[in-house]
Amino acid sequence: MAFLFGKMNVEEKIMAKVKLPVQKNQKITATIADLTYEGMGVAKVEGYPLFVQAALPGEEVVLHVLKTNKNYGFAKVVEWITKSPARVEGNGNAYTQTGIAPLQHLAYAEQLKFKRKLVVDLLKKAHLEDLEVAPTLGMSEPLHYRNKAQVPVRMVDGKLATGFFRKGSHKFVALKDFLIQDQRIDEVLQVCCEILQKHGISAYDEEKHQGTLRHLMVRRGYYSNEVLVVLVTRSAKLKDAQQIAQEIIATCPDVVGVLQNINSAKTNVILGEITQNLAGKNEIIDELNGLKFKISAQSFYQVNPIQTEKLYNLAIAQAGLSGQETVIDAYCGIGTISLNLAKHAKKVYGVEIVEQAIEDAKQNAKLNGLANLEFEVGNAEDWMATWQKQGIKPDVIVVDPPRKGLTESLITSATQMQPQKIVYVSCNPATLVRDLQSFMEKGYHVSAPLQPVDQFPQTAHVETVVLMSRVDK
């Protein structure tokens, strides 16, 4: 026993001493009190939270406790005693279980309220409850919006099947209708499977690290309707590769290019480093607000084109440009926001850490005949400091950072350049609220209601645009 105890980790030792209000495998009746930021239901048992997939606030449920940690546990619903009026039935559990659409069981109007509340609650926690939050800007048809799919392929009953993994596991769930993807993408995926099947291509077997086809990636231009197909394979060898590519194009005339990406690593990362052309073009062209963008297999490109236009238009309107301004676009990707800003400003500087993205950004500027942009490869933080030293005086700074948000040093350099306005486009309200506090300490105030925008309907993600202005001294 002493030996066993010695092998326990700290958490288990504490658990052995503290009796929790629920035990693993116990069945209990509870009422769901809230939703987490990930969209899980929360039931509290004597103050101890249990996280429950697919359960909604107000629902009375019979729970089976799956796992208990020191401060929280997980449970699943075995029976609904009452259901929420906000529940949407009929799409099936797979979408919730796989994490494709973890909020699909919640009515869309309620999803929009939930996303606004996430922002409101975070502001309250930071004692910023005075800041106003506008209602979430949603979509009129919040399904089939994704312009990009990356789906695993596995062998099911001897056939190639597309699907998804269950959240937190490697259990494959076969699926053909992905609910939130452009439906033409779903069709092209099935055509690809049939053709690959006909040529006897096997699917990847993760456990044995054998088999050929790992993933299919498909991108589709919302306005151009051009489709790009990427076959992600375990090794360079793909039997009948050219013929397969030709057949895909012959069956789907909207496919403008078929590529092969090789990923031989034992990894969850989808794409490997080498991509080769099997037929047609290496990229598609799509439009946003009438501007053309070249999108290659690996480019970062917003996945919801309809909402992206709304998001960018909002950011541009908040920047309040007259044509005379100098603007910095930090975290610019392939220059989508930069080019939109450049139409309304004198000069735009963009910075982005991925070299290929900056190559694309420069080409995109040319493609649209815009000459008032300068793009730099590197860390936004370093470039902000460099521009500051060079004496560049931006009127507006736009930032669109990844989930981890901004650094103190970037905020310091940005505010020392004293732009009149800062527009913050955020994909993570938690880091947004943290960063707003820092801007406020450095002479800026939030000068319009925070605007959540629903870029990812049926999921728990929320994008927010915030306008800040310099406090006049």
Q: Which stretch binds ligand SAH (CB under 6 A): 45-53, 267-275, 326-334, 456-464?
A: 326-334
Beta carbon of residue 381, minimum distance to ligand SAH (angstroms, whole number): 6
**Structure-block tokens of residue 360:** 């694309």
Positions in 330-349 near ligand SAH (CB under 6 A): 331-333, 336-337
Q: Which stretch binds ligand SAH (CB under 6 A): 66-74, 163-171, 265-273, 327-335?
A: 327-335
- 299 lines the binding site for ligand SAH (CB under 6 A): no
Q: Which residue has the tokens 């030792």?
A: 13
Nearer CB in complex with ligand SAH: 188/358: 358
Q: How far is Cα 295 from Cα 309, in angstroms, rounded to an integer?
A: 16
The DSSP bridge pattern shows strands 396-399 and 347-352 to be: unpaired
In the set 28, 353, 367, 448, which binds ligand SAH (CB under 6 A)? 353
Based on the residue annotation, tell me whether 192 is a catalytic residue of this protein. no
Q: Which of 192, 193, 332, 427 is catalytic?
A: 427
Q: Which stretch binds ligand SAH (CB under 6 A): 12-20, 27-35, 214-222, 325-333?
A: 325-333
Q: Which stretch binds ligand SAH (CB under 6 A): 1-9, 58-66, 353-361, 457-465?
A: 353-361
- 351 lines the binding site for ligand SAH (CB under 6 A): yes
Nearer CB in complex with ligand SAH: 120/422: 422
- 357 lines the binding site for ligand SAH (CB under 6 A): yes
**Do residues 295 and 284 lie in contact, with contact meaning Cβ atoms separated by under 8 Å?**
yes
Nearer CB in complex with ligand SAH: 31/363: 363
Write the burial class of residue 390 (CB in 10 Å: 0-12 exposed, 13-18 middle, 19+ buried). exposed
Q: Which stretch binds ligand SAH (CB under 6 A): 127-135, 147-155, 351-359, 451-459?
A: 351-359
> What secondary structure, in 3-state letters, does the chain show?
CHHHHHHCCHHHHHHHHCCCCCCCCCEEEEEEEEECCCCCEEEEECCEEEEECCCCCCCEEEEEEEEECCCCEEEEEEEECCCCCCECCCCCCHHHHCCCCCCCCECHHHHHHHHHHHHHHHHHHCCCCCCCECCCECCCCCCCCECEEEEEEEEECCEEEEEEECCCCCCEEECCCCCCECHHHHHHHHHHHHHHHHCCCCECECCCCECCEEEEEEEECCCCCCEEEEEEECCCCCCCHHHHHHHHHHHCCCEEEEEEEECCCCCCCCCCCEEEEEEECCEEEEEECCEEEEEECCCCCCCCHHHHHHHHHHHHHHHCCCCCCEEEEECCCCCHHHHHHHCCCCEEEEEECCHHHHHHHHHHHHHCCCCCEEEEECCHHHHHHHHHHCCCCCCEEEECCCCCCCCHHHHHHHHHCCCCEEEEEECCHHHHHHHHHHHHHCCEEECCCEEEECCCCCCCCCEEEEEEEECCC
In the set 59, 325, 352, 454, which binds ligand SAH (CB under 6 A)? 352
Expressed in angstroms, the distance from the first to the final Cα of the chain is: 69
Find the residue with minimal CB distance to ligand SAH.
333
Nearer CB in complex with ligand SAH: 160/339: 339
Nearer CB in complex with ligand SAH: 345/380: 380
Positions in 398-417 near ligand SAH (CB under 6 A): 400, 402
Nearer CB in complex with ligand SAH: 135/402: 402
- 282 lines the binding site for ligand SAH (CB under 6 A): no
Nearer CB in complex with ligand SAH: 96/388: 388
Q: How far is Cα 254 from Cα 248, in angstroms, rounded to an integer?
A: 10
Beta carbon of residue 335, minimum distance to ligand SAH (angstroms, whole number): 8
Q: Which stretch binds ligand SAH (CB under 6 A): 70-78, 180-188, 329-337, 458-466?
A: 329-337
Positions in 60-119 near ligand SAH (CB under 6 A): none
Nearer CB in complex with ligand SAH: 98/296: 296
User: Number of residues in contact with ligand SAH, rule: CB under 6 A?
Assistant: 16
Degrees to nearest 5, angle at CA 337 with 331 and 340: 155
Beta carbon of residue 269, minimum distance to ligand SAH (angstroms, whole number): 15
Nearer CB in complex with ligand SAH: 314/357: 357
Positions in 372-401 near ligand SAH (CB under 6 A): 379-380, 400
**Structure-block tokens of residue 186:** 């779903």
In the set 300, 367, 376, 447, which binds ligand SAH (CB under 6 A)? 300
Q: How far is Cα 258 from Cα 96, in angstroms, rounded to an integer?
A: 31
Beta carbon of residue 354, minimum distance to ligand SAH (angstroms, whole number): 5
Beta carbon of residue 319, minimum distance to ligand SAH (angstroms, whole number): 14
- 182 lines the binding site for ligand SAH (CB under 6 A): no
Beta carbon of residue 274, minimum distance to ligand SAH (angstroms, whole number): 20
Catalytic positions, written as ranges: 427
Q: Which residues here bind ligand SAH, judged by CB under 6 A?
A: 300, 302, 331-333, 336-337, 351-354, 357, 379-380, 400, 402
